[in-house]
């Protein structure tokens, strides 16, 4: 069950493509970038939240990958996004693919600042 878990919390996103509140475009981009990174989408689900006080709609979405998953959550009213990429490294090391996917997604939101974390999963002492 060895794997790599990457997260990114993005703040002050310029969001040049309007992804924070456009679920169809967000899902399409996630699927495209996942494929470009060399990972395999086997399912997906994206959910819109009701408009908040500013009239914006946030999204939560997940791509189920043969290698594990990608999750994305948007807060348009806060210009914020959280990203979560987990890949299993059984049979082959997918770490570079996971990093490529996360880097590509972060770039698309153009955050003013970002906080990234990395956890090696399934490592025994």
Give which of 67, 70, 96 is closest to 83, Cα–Cα: 70
> CA 5, CA 118: separation in Å to the nearest integer?
6
Determine which one of 32, 68, 69, 79 is catalytic: 68
Q: What is 80-94 written as a DSSP string?
A: EEEEEEEEE-SSS--
Determine which one of 73, 79, 95, 115 is catalytic: 73
Any idea what the Cα angle at residue 75 is, between residues 114 and 40, rounded to 5°?
Answer: 70
The DSSP 8-state label assigned to residue 13 in this structure reads -
Determine which one of 13, 30, 79, 88 is catalytic: 88
Kindly give the interhelix angle for 23-36 and 95-109, rounded to the nearest 10 degrees. 150
Q: Is-catalytic flag, 68? A: yes
Encoded tokens for 43 = 């399912």
Residues with catalytic function: 68, 73, 88
């Amino acid at each position: 069950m060895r794997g790599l878990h990457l997260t990114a919390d993005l703040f002050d996103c310029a969001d040049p493509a309007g992804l924070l509140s456009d679920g169809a475009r967000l899902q399409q981009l996630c699927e495209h970038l996942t494929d470009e990174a060399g990972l395999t989408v086997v399912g997906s689900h994206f959910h819109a939240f009701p408009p908040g006080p500013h009239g914006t709609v946030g999204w939560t979405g997940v791509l189920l990958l043969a290698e594990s998953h990608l999750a994305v959550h948007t807060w348009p009213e806060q210009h914020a996004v959280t990203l979560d990429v987990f890949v299993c490294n059984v049979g082959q090391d997918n770490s570079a693919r996971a990093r490529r996917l996360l880097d590509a997604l972060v770039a698309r939101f153009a955050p003013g600042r970002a906080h990234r974390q990395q956890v090696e999963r399934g490592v025994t002492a």
